[in-house]
Chain A
Amino acid sequence: MKRYIARRLLQGVVLLFMVATIVFFLGRLTGNPVDLMLPEDATAEDRANLTQTLGLDGPLGEQFLIFAGKALHGDLGNSIRMKQPAVDAFFDRLPNTLVLIPWALLLGMVLGIPLGVVAALNRGGLLDRAAGTIAVLGVAMPSFWLGILLIFVFSVELGWLPSSRMGGPAHYVLPVITLGTFLVAGFMRITRSAMLEVMESEFVKLARIKGLSETAVIWKHCLRNALIPVLTLWGVFVSNLITGAIVTETVFAWPGIGRLTYEAVIYRDFPLLQAVIILKSILILVINLGVDILYAYVDPRIRLA
């Protein structure tokens, strides 16, 4: 197990280096912050001055070496726009995103898993098709469209909920639904296919032969085993929520790391963009590693492999 963890950690380090390199060079291919900070009629002199002030005047290779050297010491630079350490900016906003994620996951599981079970039990039937439609809608509906639709219905027309921004419990409802709808579909589909597979297993047949009630067979024996792949997917979903919160946080003016990423891209705030992507990658690596370790404990076949 220790070797497994060590191997995964090493892979993570290599992956992080690749991510950092790609983000550094890709970001610079798309323009520079000076053009977005200065008015369109700025003189060449003012542009050169600001480029120098921001430390963007050296050769690209040299800039990368400076960045990589500092990054090894945990310094990911200062945000050009916010004039504060990029790492601090990330951790200032991270809690705002993290408070949404458990609720979105809960919504996804509470609705998605039972729907998946019901769909599996009614394979090919009306309920299965209805659940399938929900799954397709959940995946197909763009979150910016769903978010705006929810705002229009529940805030503007009905006046039941605040339209946006962080605040009391009521402020969480619409962003959580927007984030969680995708998860409902995801959990539903994976639960359905896992349930169908498990329901064909020998131990299920044995349980039935032993005379256990159908409720006990389905909800105790089948679902418990079907949840193992769901557990793996949990890590993927959390990663999706972390990276996919950009749209939801933008629509709902939620000051989390999704919005921070959006702002870093829009303003070509290279140090902030690099820091956000690297720190998000670390977060996702840690979560996935945690889930994989958990999975390895739950399912011995993984350990042995």
Chain B
Amino acid sequence: MFRHFASAVALGVAMAVVASPLCAQDQKGTLVFAVESLGAQTLDPILEGRPGNAVYQAVMYDSLVGFDLAKGGVGPGVAERWELSADGLTWSFFIRPNQVFHNGDKLTAHDVKFSLERQMGPGSLASAAASMRRTIKSIEVVDDLTVKVNTNNPQLGLPAGLSRAVAPEGAIMPKNYIEKVGEEEFRKKPIGSGPWKFVRNVPGDRIEFTAVTTPHWRGRPHFKDLHLLLVPEESTRVAMVRTGEAAIASIGPETMLSATRGGLEVLSVPGTMQAIFQFWGTWKPELKDSPIAKPRVRQALSLAIDRKQVIEHVMNGRARLPHPFATFAYTEYFSAARWEKWAAEAYRYDPALAKKMLAEEGYPNGFELRFANTALPGTQFMVDIGTAIADMWTKVGVKVTLKHYEWGSFAPMERGDQAGLIGWASMYRTAGRPDAPWRYDGAFSPESTQRLLGDKDNCGETCQEYVKTYRALIAELDRTKRTALTDRMVEITSNSWTVVPILEGMGYYAINTRRVGQFEAIPGRHELGDVFERIPRPEQKPWKK
């Protein structure tokens, strides 16, 4: 018995000794990725927003809740599972055992508590810091592998909010290390628990990482090094991929054709965003006689849009018909198949019916519509979509006054009395995320910034119905009832035609197939920060011709 035990121990030790160098030998070359923005280019998660976190911080930090890699949306992360207490006020997260930071320290529940508190603390620029402070009552460490988050009221979306599928606030940082070296030193020499270790950060130029040599639950990288290069100009990024200076580059739909003609592979990531148009202040008393105050007029404008043409010509065929507003195939507690069928019918192109409906509503010769065309940074194709749909509305008799806004000047107009937008339609977008209620609250709640259905003083029938459904939804613990309530919320808002999806967009990458092997991105997640470790070298998995 003792001999067997001794042999097993000896074998284990030998394997451990041999495994590391072998693993290291198996990791070769440098994976070079050219990207248009490195955000704040800081390796401290509390100082970065969502896109930057998902591009480069995700490389070296793990998130409390992770991804469903195949379907998109939420899946296991640092926590392998989580459960809600019967009263809906406490989430317990069960930490995956044997996780370590890059300095060898064990990752425990203490690090999770420390990280969440740091995200909520003073000095944090986390976008949800204030919301977290309001909703999270306390965080308790039960044991090394269990942490409880107590909330002030039921927060069913909390795990999604701590998943990189949605937000960066779940990034786990090393408590002992930060307390020992201080914040300043941590920012210079950051340590995480992800599959890549930090090497160098050259502001305005690049960030370099090297692969961990031990197995990692996200996957052990196939490349030895990873360089993320900041290359703002898209043509230059594509040129770099063509010359082999970079293996992968982020591109927009407008560059897809030239990349393909240049012999590059184009990878599409499904469900990363929706391009939408929406109407501002339709519920306001002063707009009661405006054509856009009538839901059937708004619906007619949707019927006048040939979405397939937009997909074909603006998005080069790499987009799809959308689900209803802010919902995707991976949306949680949502009857995706049913709504996909509904959307195919509702978002069809029928200009004859559009004209008929406009005539029935008293506008046989159309009307004047002011339309604000805008795009978030990095989504310039949105302006082309806006221009295309304005042209389509013109064809059914609507006289469109089109005004272009840079996003930085458009965003402030949403706030306050929205004077510059009341009575206008505008382009907008919504990012791909699995928790629909959060996005709906931002668009439709009478207390929200956008308040598209009404405000506290003017909350009509649809607005009240929405508020009632939303409140029931966020308090509902039963899965089936929650799905029914989400469907109802989607139904109310879809039938109001206040926010109308145009298409479901994708993320696009130009790839040099001589530099990297075939890989897939995570549905709904444009950025590749959680994908790099799974990208094979070209000889490991060549691209299919």
Q: Using CB atoms and an 8 Å cutoff, list the residues of chain A in contact with chain B.
A: 30-32, 35-50, 53-54, 81-83, 89, 92-93, 144, 148, 151-152, 155-156, 159, 162-166, 250-253, 255, 259-260, 262-263, 266, 268
Contact = CB atoms under 8 A, between A and B. Distances in A.
Q: Which 5 A-B pairs have the closest CB atoms?
A: A31-B408, A49-B130, A35-B411, A255-B204, A41-B442
B98 interface: no
Given A53-B123, A253-B230, A40 B431 contact: yes
Given A45-B130, A253-B232, A255-B205, A40 B428 contact: yes
Given A30-B408, A44-B449, A252-B236, A165 B134 contact: no
A223 B454 CA distance: 76
B232 A164 contact: no
A250 B229 contact: no
A159 to B, nearest CB: 7
A151 B204 CA distance: 21
A152 B409 contact: no
16 contacts: A31-B406, A40-B428, A40-B429, A41-B438, A44-B415, A50-B130, A53-B122, A81-B40, A83-B42, A89-B203, A152-B239, A156-B242, A162-B245, A164-B236, A164-B245, A250-B233
A87 to B, nearest CB: 14
Contact of B204 (A53, A263, A268): A263
B422 interface: no
B127 A38 contact: yes
A208 to B, nearest CB: 53
A39 B431 contact: yes
Contacts of A39: 49-50, 127, 431
A291 to B, nearest CB: 29
Interface residues of B, number: 55
A31 B232 contact: no
B25 interface: no
Contacts of B449: 43-44, 47
B153 to A, nearest CB: 15
Nearest to B129: A49
A233 to B, nearest CB: 30
B129 A165 contact: no
A153 to B, nearest CB: 11
A66 B204 CA distance: 28
A253 B236 contact: yes
Given A44-B449, A82-B40, A253 B233 contact: yes
A262 B232 contact: yes
A66 to B, nearest CB: 19
A148 B40 contact: no
A92 to B, nearest CB: 7
Given A41-B438, A45-B131, A268-B408, A253 B229 contact: yes
B431 to A, nearest CB: 7
B236 A37 contact: no
- Binding site secondary structure of chain A: helix
B203 A43 contact: no
B544 to A, nearest CB: 25
Nearest to A34: B411
A41 B430 contact: yes
B519 interface: no
A163 B409 contact: no
A155 B243 contact: yes
A156 B243 contact: yes
Interface string B428-442: 111100000011001
A263 B409 CA distance: 16
Contacts of A48: 130
A268 B406 CA distance: 12
Nearest to A79: B40
Interface in B179-196: 187
B231 interface: yes
Nearest to A167: B245
Contacts of B240: 163-164
Nearest to B205: A255
Contacts of A255: 202-205, 230
B41 interface: yes
Given A40-B431, A253-B232, A165 B49 contact: no
Interface in B434-488: 438-439, 442-443, 447-449
B411 A31 contact: yes
Contacts of B50: 39
Given A37-B49, A148-B233, 10 more contacts: A30-B409, A40-B376, A43-B131, A43-B448, A49-B129, A83-B47, A255-B203, A255-B230, A262-B232, A263-B204
B235 interface: yes
Contacts of A40: 376, 411, 428-431, 442
B239 to A, nearest CB: 4
Contacts of B49: 37-39
B412 A151 contact: no
Given A252-B236, A262-B232, A43 B442 contact: yes
B126 to A, nearest CB: 9
A37 B438 contact: no
B42 A82 contact: yes
B123 A165 contact: no
A155 B242 CA distance: 9
Give the residue among B47, B127, B443 with the most A Cβ atoms within 10 A.
Answer: B127
A145 B47 CA distance: 36
A10 to B, nearest CB: 35
A266 B123 CA distance: 23
Contacts of B125: 37, 50, 53-54
B239 A156 contact: yes
A78 to B, nearest CB: 12
B181 to A, nearest CB: 17
B285 interface: no
A114 B235 CA distance: 35
Nearest to B166: A39
B217 interface: no
B128 interface: yes
Contacts of A144: 233
A42 B415 CA distance: 12
B543 interface: no
Interface in B127-149: 127-131, 134
Given A35-B408, A156-B243, A255-B205, A46 B130 contact: yes
A41 B447 CA distance: 13
Contacts of A259: 204, 232
A35 B412 contact: yes
B263 to A, nearest CB: 11
Contacts of B104: none
Contact of A46 (B40, B131, B239, B262): B131
